[in-house]
Amino acid sequence: MLPKMDFDNYDTGPFYDEMFTPDGRPRDGCRLLHGKVESLPPGEIRTRQTAAEQAFYDMGITFTVYGHEEGTEKIFPFDIIPRVIEAAEWDSLERGLVQRIRALNLFIDDVYHQGRIMADGVIPRSIVESSSGYFKECQGLNPPRGVWCHITGSDLVRDETGRFMVLEDNLRCPSGVSYVLANRRILKRTFPQVFETIDIRPVDDYAPLLLDMLHAIAPPAVGRPTAALLTPGVYNSAYFEHTFLAQQAGIELVEGRDLVVADGYVHMRTTKGLKKVDVLYRRVGEDFLDPKVFRPDSLLGVPGIMEVYKAGRVAMANAPGTGVADDKVVYAYVPQMIRYYLGETPLIDNVETFLCWEDKQRRHVLENLDTMVVKAAAESGGYGMLVGPAATPEERAAFAAKIEADPRNYIAQPTINLSRAPVLVDDHFEGRHVDLRPYILYGEDIRVIPGGLTRVALKRGSLVVNSSQGGGSKDTWVLGPGQARQG
Amino acid sequence: MLSRVAEAIYWMSRYLERAENIARFLDVNWHLTLDTPGGRGEQWMPLVSAMGDHSLFVDRELAGNRKSVIRFLAFDPEYPNSIVNCLARARDNARTIREIIPTEMWEQTNTFYHMVREAARDCETVLNNPYQFCDEVKRRDLTISGIAGDAMSHDEAWDFFRLGRLLERADKTSRILDVKYFILLPHPTDIGSNLDYVQWGALLKAISALEAYRRRHGRIQPERIVEFLLLDHDFPRSVLCCLIKAQECLHAITGTPAGYFANPAEKRIGLLTGDLAYSGLEEIFSAGLHEFTDNLQTRMNLVDTAIYDTFFSTFPAIDAASQQ
């Protein structure tokens, strides 16, 4: 006899739960979903989870597991219960993200021009110029429309009170948006009836918006621009995403070896000779972009492409040099940037951040390592970090030594008890910590895709949601304005 | 289109067609075996020879019996042309052009690969009775073919897809003929016997040609079968038919008018197609069937090399006139 699937024994714990209020009632926006899940016959939800996983497998949205039997493939873990965000809450998040991106873009443009914000003493010049994403080669460049950060994926988290905060900004090559689109597709297959009854904002226009953005930033003289996505190649862990986005946007997917600089332009090698490329959505980091300017040993890039870029004959998203704002120390100054450039109060706060290069803050960090999360300034993907409360005394001591040796490279934040959402575990539901990565496009104007990628730490108690560290994902439903309170 | 992409489509298609043809080889031999009275023994080695990979097999010191040959051709991870490796390579190519091919085509290729890998994992059933597996391989590849025809734009990518498939098929049809040739010749007394008809029938059936042949020629006559498989203008698996269509694809890609050539690939395929189109059974049998098909295969390999030089090589010769 299969157990009935309900939430009767679900424990929200001392955390903000995305689906339930502390007294165990479903939140307004979750009522329909909650009712639907509880009304399913025993075993049905597990059947649908399995079917969803099979669909990912058949679609080839998989990664290869090394060290196992050759060719073993796995899907990225996916949980079938969506995460719901209500309309009003999303609208205010969206405003906050637009504000943040506007300020970040002004900051990057400023850094590579007069550097007013540094001259005015708001951010130390030494911090900016020691950022690993800062490239002096980009000094004085003028990308079309003055836009540098065309695609951003900032990470948001909620604390125990349910307040959203920005954990970090990903301005280099944020990945994951293909999972937003794939998750939605799979969930529509899995719960078609729910989509009929709940007003969920669609995400399917991401690819057309991406294409519009790429066209908007093309060199001005070009009539009908040719856009291409530059990928490091099939061995890159995000390769599926590269093919998927190129296909959905209807643009070429190119590798460095497909491109060549000739007569002052960038061209693709085709079966009919060379064809000019006007816009590149690059998923190759600056370091590897042009062996003549950056790393000379790079085989992934295109020799001479920076020269063409500087001459304004090819556009790139994101603009080379954008990563300067990706540094976690620079991140700490974003609220100041918003005040400085826009004269506004930040609508979404940063997580409280301690900068180890400042003596007083470093001492505080070192004295409180057991309660803090320490991160390396230039790392991402959950690498190079210490989760203080989960670490052993030896690990903390080793990390303290690293901080002392290179204080510029570390920031620390109090451990946030991330909000939780129910996930299917065997035959019941358990709470797991989640974050949210919305995707923001900046071309003609700034557009935020409704929701984004909800990443979930599938290990019980874990606060690390990165896929490289055992994280999975959920579909994210942003409710439409009309039905936020239906139930 | 990108040279790299064109090459990936071409090879994806060739590997899929190759996998399908190996399944057809296995199928025809399996049926020949069923119809061969026990005393004669089964002959499986001609299959390996027909693939042109005799030495690879012999070097491994494998036994030439049914299970060993089926395992080798279908599932051997070390044999580059085994069905499982063809699928792996077709899928690897498909993966690099996922943005070019229709989603359904990628998914079909992907699930096809997983199906074959699953079969390889527990292959005893297939080794004992390959019929269902071979049938499944054929069907799945035909599905991909159908998706290509109905869901791809009939543009350059589609022409490269067809080009790869047609050249591979022409090669394999000429080889499948060799299989029968090898098996039967040692027993000239059988020629014209019931057994002979049964075996030719099995061969035609394996390449889905039996009904088409019957409508064209009626009675089973070995020389008519040779003519049908090599020279028929309408049957889509005959060598000539494949080459004529492959030539059309090449010209569609380059825009060169029929009767002209603008690159070595067009020249070679034009010469080959012309020679074959104006050959008759007399030429074939005076050269010897095996020698004739062998020569055909060598010349088709040269076409493939010319296609690589013309379209795929990493640094294609680019002159000012060819730039657009």
Query: ω into residue A318 within 30 of 0, thus cis?
Result: yes
Q: Average model confidence (pLDDT) for chain B? A: 87
Residue A426 φ/ψ region, left for φ over 0, alpha for ψ in the -120 to 50 degree band, beta for the rest: left
- Which residue in chain A has the smallest CA separation from B311? A271
Contact at CB, B99 and A246, closer than 8 angstroms: yes
Provide the strand spans (E) within A190-247. 227-230
A135-151 pLDDT per residue, tens = 999 999 999 999 999 99
Instruction: Kindly state the percentage of chain B with pLDDT values over 90.
Output: 61
In chain A, domain spans: 220-313, 352-414
A53 in contact with chain B, both atoms CB, cutoff 8 A: no
Q: Name chain B contacts of A280, Cβ cutoff 8 Å.
A: none
Choose among A279, A207, A273: nearest CA to A246: A207
Q: What's the distance, CA A388 to chain centroid?
A: 24
Backbone angles phi, psi at A300, to 5 degrees: -90, -15
Cα of first residue to Cα of last residue in chain B, in angstroms, is 12
Instruction: List the single range of A246-255, A467-476, B231-240 with lowest mean pLDDT.
Output: A467-476
Contact at CB, B107 and A255, closer than 8 angstroms: no
A29-86 pLDDT per residue, tens = 999 899 988 888 888 899 999 999 998 888 888 776 655 555 567 788 999 999 999 9
- CATH for the stretch A220-313: 3.40.50.11290
Structure confidence at residue B322 as a pLDDT band (50, 70, 90): very low
**Tokens found for residue B318:** 């680019």
pLDDT at A481: 83
Structure confidence at residue B323 as a pLDDT band (50, 70, 90): very low
Place of tokens 């399913």: A40
CA distance B158 to chain A (A): 14
Instruction: Give the C-alpha separation, A160 to A20, whole Å.
Output: 13
Structure confidence at residue B319 as a pLDDT band (50, 70, 90): very low
Q: Name chain A contacts of B100, Cβ cutoff 8 Å.
A: 247, 253
Instruction: Give the C-alpha separation, A193 to A408, whole Å.
Output: 53
Residue B276 has pLDDT above 50, yes or no: yes
B2 in contact with chain A, both atoms CB, cutoff 8 A: yes
pLDDT at A66: 58
pLDDT at B80: 93
Which residues partner with A477 through β-bridges? A84
B136-190 pLDDT per residue, tens = 999 999 999 999 999 999 999 999 999 999 999 999 999 888 776 666 554 555 5
- What's the rounded mean pLDDT across residues A296-324? 93
CA distance A216 to chain B (A): 22
Contact at CB, B98 and A71, closer than 8 angstroms: no
pLDDT at A366: 94
Q: Name chain A contacts of B77, Cβ cutoff 8 Å.
A: 70
Instruction: Give the C-alpha separation, A132 to A410, whole Å.
Output: 13
A442-466 pLDDT per residue, tens = 999 999 999 999 999 999 988 888 8
Instruction: Give the C-alpha separation, B31 to B317, whole Å.
Output: 49
Contact (CB, 8 A) for B265 and B307? yes
Contact at CB, B98 and A243, closer than 8 angstroms: yes
> Do the strands A372-376 and A385-387 form a parallel or antiparallel pair, or are they unpaired?
antiparallel
Structure confidence at residue B111 as a pLDDT band (50, 70, 90): very high
Contact (CB, 8 A) for A128 and A195? no
pLDDT at A64: 65
- Which residue in chain A has the smallest CA separation from B321? A273
pLDDT at A190: 82
pLDDT at A3: 63
Backbone angles phi, psi at A241, to 5 degrees: -60, -40
pLDDT at A486: 43
A57 in contact with chain B, both atoms CB, cutoff 8 A: yes
Q: Name chain B contacts of A234, Cβ cutoff 8 Å.
A: 92, 95-96
Q: Name chain B contacts of A251, Cβ cutoff 8 Å.
A: 99
Residue B272 has pLDDT above 70, yes or no: yes
- What's the rounded mean pLDDT across residues A342-357? 96
Place of tokens 């069923």: B34
pLDDT at B182: 65
Put simply, the chain A residues between 97 and 116 with a CB less than 8 A from any chain B CB are none
Instruction: List the single range of A65-79, A402-416, B269-283 with lowest mean pLDDT.
Output: A65-79
**Tokens found for residue A455:** 């990443």
pLDDT at B202: 81
* Torsion angle (degrees, nearest 10) of CA B153, B154, B157, B160: 150
Start-end of H helices in chain B: 3-34, 45-50, 54-59, 66-70, 83-96, 103-121, 124-128, 131-151, 156-184, 194-206, 210-217, 222-231, 239-254, 264-277, 281-287, 289-307
Place of tokens 């439409």: A480
Which range has the top average pLDDT, A296-300, B206-210, B248-252? B248-252
**Given this structure, which CATH class describes domain A352-414?**
alpha beta
In chain B, domain spans: 3-314
Instruction: Give the C-alpha separation, B245 to B162, whole Å.
Output: 8
Instruction: List the single range of B99-108, B167-176, B193-202 with lowest mean pLDDT.
Output: B193-202
Asked whether the CA dihedral B47, B51, B54, B60 is positive or negative, the reply is: negative
B6 in contact with chain A, both atoms CB, cutoff 8 A: yes
B96 in contact with chain A, both atoms CB, cutoff 8 A: yes
pLDDT at B195: 67
A269 in contact with chain B, both atoms CB, cutoff 8 A: yes
Instruction: Kindly state the percentage of chain A with pLDDT values over 70.
Output: 95
Put simply, the chain B residues between 235 and 254 with a CB less than 8 A from any chain A CB are 253-254
- What's the rounded mean pLDDT across residues A319-348? 96
Instruction: List the single range of A117-126, A284-293, B27-36 with lowest mean pLDDT.
Output: B27-36
Report the residue from A57, A244, A270 with minimal CB separation from B3. Answer: A270
Q: Answer yes or no: is the ipTM higher than 0.85.
A: no
Q: Average model confidence (pLDDT) for chain A? A: 91
B104 in contact with chain A, both atoms CB, cutoff 8 A: no
- How are strands ordered across the β-sheet holding A259-262? A259-262, A265-270, A273-276
**Tokens found for residue A379:** 């790392």
CA distance B160 to chain A (A): 11
pLDDT at B54: 85
A270 in contact with chain B, both atoms CB, cutoff 8 A: yes
**Tokens found for residue A358:** 């400042």
Report the residue from A240, A254, A273 with minimal CB separation from B323. Answer: A273
Instruction: Give the C-alpha separation, A465 to B33, whole Å.
Output: 58
Report the residue from A59, A257, A271 with minimal CB separation from B311. Answer: A271
Put simply, the chain A residues between 229 and 248 with a CB less than 8 A from any chain B CB are 234, 239-240, 243-244, 246-247
Contact at CB, A258 and B95, closer than 8 angstroms: no
Q: Name chain B contacts of A247, Cβ cutoff 8 Å.
A: 98-100, 103
Instruction: Give the C-alpha separation, A203 to A205, whole Å.
Output: 6
**Element spanning A436, H or E:** strand A428-437
Which residues partner with A166 through β-bridges? A156, A350
Distances (CA, A) of A454 to A7, A156, A348, A435: 21, 10, 18, 6
A161-196 pLDDT per residue, tens = 999 999 999 998 888 999 999 999 989 888 888 888
Using DSSP, state whether A268 is helix, strand or coil.
strand
B99 in contact with chain A, both atoms CB, cutoff 8 A: yes
Contact at CB, A60 and B110, closer than 8 angstroms: yes
Instruction: Give the C-alpha separation, B119 to B217, whole Å.
Output: 39
**Element spanning A423, H or E:** strand A420-425
- Which residue in chain A has the smallest CA separation from B107? A59
pLDDT at A306: 95
A214-256 pLDDT per residue, tens = 999 999 877 899 999 999 988 888 888 999 999 899 999 999 9
CB atoms within 10 A of CB A430: 16
Q: Name chain B contacts of A253, Cβ cutoff 8 Å.
A: 5, 97, 99-100
CB pairs under 8 A between A and B: 81
Contact at CB, B2 and A58, closer than 8 angstroms: no
